[in-house]
């Protein structure tokens, strides 16, 4: 077997789509015009953000709450790259892990109720799982839902802004409710729009349906 230069494309999965970039990260990627390989910026951004979170987000306040988000935005410069490198598949999990850790560290370190932090993480994880599952079977979520979910950078910025203003529990609650409504709405409309194929049951000689086909 020959090596494929673009394994994700061969499976119908575009890693750029699985990054779940928001408007800001996508805009930074346009500046680089796809010329920067994605793994190194993602690693650097995740490392710096991780160090900042390890020092304790409870010690950060005001504008400094944006520091981990700004560090991870380093990866946005490479968002327009085709992501066809051998190790580029590691980029989406890196972005996922850093976002999850930020939501956890910021919430628990700032006294946000644990159940609220958990529900927000669950909503984001379900969004990611849905995108991965659909792309594996060759069906992408609608473009509008991906934009409306704000991207990893948008979600992190909303919470950082809430913390800077002293409204962090409120920001967690509003973001959680917003994402949950979007997920339920999109799932409901998608199911209703999907044609249902009815399987015709085998009939016996008298026109009835057999209880067993064994």
Q: Domains in the chain, start-ordered, CATH in brackets?
A: 7-193 (1.20.120.1760)
Rounded average pLDDT over 4-22: 64
pTM of the model: 0.81
pLDDT tens, residue by residue, 114-141: 999 999 999 999 999 988 888 888 777 7
Q: For residue 8, is pLDDT > 60?
A: no
In terms of pLDDT, which residue wins out, 30 or 141?
A: 30
Distances in Å between the alpha carbon of 121 and those of 25, 33, 118? 21, 32, 5
Q: For residue 94, is pLDDT > 80?
A: yes
In terms of pLDDT, which residue wins out, 68 or 11?
A: 68
Q: For residue 111, is pLDDT > 80?
A: yes
In terms of pLDDT, which residue wins out, 17 or 99?
A: 99
Q: For residue 212, is pLDDT > 90?
A: no
Rounded average pLDDT over 47-70: 81
| 18 alpha carbon, distance to own chain's centre | 7
**Least confident stretch, 31-45, 78-92, 120-134, 196-210:** 196-210
Cβ 116 vs Cβ 3: under 8 Å: no
Query: Is residue 188 very low, low, confident or very high in pLDDT (cuts 50, 70, 90)?
Result: confident
DSSP code per residue over 58-69: GG--GGGGGHHH
Cα angle at 13 between 123 and 29, to 5 degrees?
80
Q: Looking at residue 153, what is its pLDDT?
A: 95
Q: Looking at residue 1, what is its pLDDT?
A: 39
In terms of pLDDT, which residue wins out, 12 or 144?
A: 144
Q: How many Å apart are CA 71 and CA 74, to the nearest integer?
A: 6
In terms of pLDDT, which residue wins out, 142 or 37?
A: 37
Percent of the chain whose predicted confidence (pLDDT) is above 70: 80
């Amino acid at each position: 077997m020959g090596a494929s230069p673009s394994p994700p494309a061969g499976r119908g999965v575009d890693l750029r789509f699985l990054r779940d970039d928001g408007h800001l990260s996508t805009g930074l990627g346009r500046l680089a015009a796809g010329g920067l390989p994605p793994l190194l910026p993602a690693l650097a951004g995740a490392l710096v953000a991780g160090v900042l979170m390890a020092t304790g987000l409870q010690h950060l306040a005001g504008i400094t709450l944006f520091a981990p988000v700004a560090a991870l935005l380093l990866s946005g410069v490479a968002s327009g790259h085709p992501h066809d490198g051998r190790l580029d598949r590691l980029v989406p999990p890196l972005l996922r892990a850093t976002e999850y850790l930020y939501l956890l560290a910021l919430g628990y370190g700032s006294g946000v109720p644990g159940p609220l932090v958990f529900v927000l993480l669950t909503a984001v994880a379900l969004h990611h799982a849905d995108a991965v599952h659909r792309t594996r079977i060759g069906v992408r979520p609608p473009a509008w839902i991906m934009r409306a979910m704000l991207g990893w950078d948008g979600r992190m910025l909303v919470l950082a802004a809430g913390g800077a203003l002293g409204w962090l529990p409120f920001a967690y609650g509003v973001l959680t409710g917003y994402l949950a409504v979007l997920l339920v709405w999109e799932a409901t409309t998608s199911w209703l729009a999907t044609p249902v194929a009815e399987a015709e049951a085998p009939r016996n000689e008298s026109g009835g349906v057999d209880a067993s086909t064994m």
